[in-house]
């Protein structure tokens, strides 16, 4: 198979997000290898739903965040990526909530988000600091492509002596998508995230 594409640096990602007016989670790169890196992410406030088909999840989350379907009737600025657990049962999808709910300064105290109007289908929650291994791929995030990217990442981590957290490869697998639902395949930016054991990260 072709080598995985190189990952942009945290600084490059931050500059790109700022140019697009989109907030992304802050992170520190703890270690990297060919086509992969390990990130320590800031704590996040997210809105979450279960889904069967991705457009259903996008519609629910977009209603809460972009169309103000919340107790404050507040339309929020855009964030990225959209995060999914496609192998969990039920499958779940998150949007990171923007500042001040997920502060631009990771050391700041987050402001509690407004309650979803559809509180039977949506929930806001705190996601504590994650340590994840990341690999990127482009094109459609169909199951075979996602699982192939996951398996290559697992092999690279094994060679590097980095251990996965319990359940990370299946129900814990996170798919991160940075583009709109109808973006053209060559313009789609995707990542697979696998939680790792922090004590095994040091090379």
* pLDDT higher than 90, residue 14: no
Rama region for 56: left / alpha / beta (φ>0; ψ in -120 to 50; rest): alpha
* pLDDT higher than 50, residue 146: yes
Q: What is the pLDDT of residue 19?
A: 75
Which of residues 138 and 29 earns the better pLDDT score? 29
The pTM of this model reads 0.90
What is residue 183's three-state secondary structure? coil
Per-residue pLDDT band for 185 (boundaries 50, 70, 90) equals very low
Contact 80, 178 (CB under 8 A): yes
Per-residue pLDDT band for 188 (boundaries 50, 70, 90) equals low
Per-residue pLDDT band for 1 (boundaries 50, 70, 90) equals low
Q: What is the pLDDT of residue 171?
A: 96
Q: What percent of the chain has pLDDT over 70?
A: 92
* pLDDT higher than 60, residue 187: no
* pLDDT higher than 90, residue 61: yes
Q: Residues in the chain, how many?
A: 203
Nearest one of 113, 99, 110 to 71, comparing CA atoms: 113
Cβ-based burial of 54 (10 A; exposed 0-12, middle 13-18, buried ≥19): middle
Q: How far is CA 107 from CA 39, 47, 52, 103, in A?
A: 17, 21, 36, 8
Q: What is the pLDDT of residue 12?
A: 76
Q: For 80-98, b where at least 16 C-beta lie within 10 A, e where not — what string? A: bbbbbbbbeeebbbbbbbb
């Amino acid at each position: 198979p072709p080598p995985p594409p190189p990952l942009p640096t945290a600084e490059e990602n931050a500059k790109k997000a700022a140019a697009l007016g989109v907030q992304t989670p802050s992170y520190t790169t703890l270690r990297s290898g060919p086509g992969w890196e390990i990130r320590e992410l800031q704590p996040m406030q997210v809105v979450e739903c279960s889904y069967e088909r991705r457009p259903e999840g996008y519609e629910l989350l977009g209603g809460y965040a972009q169309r103000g379907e919340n107790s404050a009737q507040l339309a929020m600025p855009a964030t990225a990526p959209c995060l999914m657990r496609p192998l969990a049962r039920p499958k779940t999808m998150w949007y990171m909530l923007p500042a001040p709910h997920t502060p631009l300064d990771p050391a700041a105290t987050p402001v509690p988000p407004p309650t979803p109007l559809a509180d039977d289908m949506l929930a806001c929650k705190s996601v504590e600091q994650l340590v994840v291994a990341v690999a990127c791929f482009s094109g459609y995030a169909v199951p075979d492509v996602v699982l192939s990217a996951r398996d290559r990442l697992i092999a690279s981590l094994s060679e590097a002596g980095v251990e996965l957290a319990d359940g990370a490869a299946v129900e814990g697998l996170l798919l991160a998508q940075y583009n709109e639902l109808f973006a053209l395949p060559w313009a789609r930016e995707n990542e697979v995230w696998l939680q790792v054991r922090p004590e095994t990260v040091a090379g």
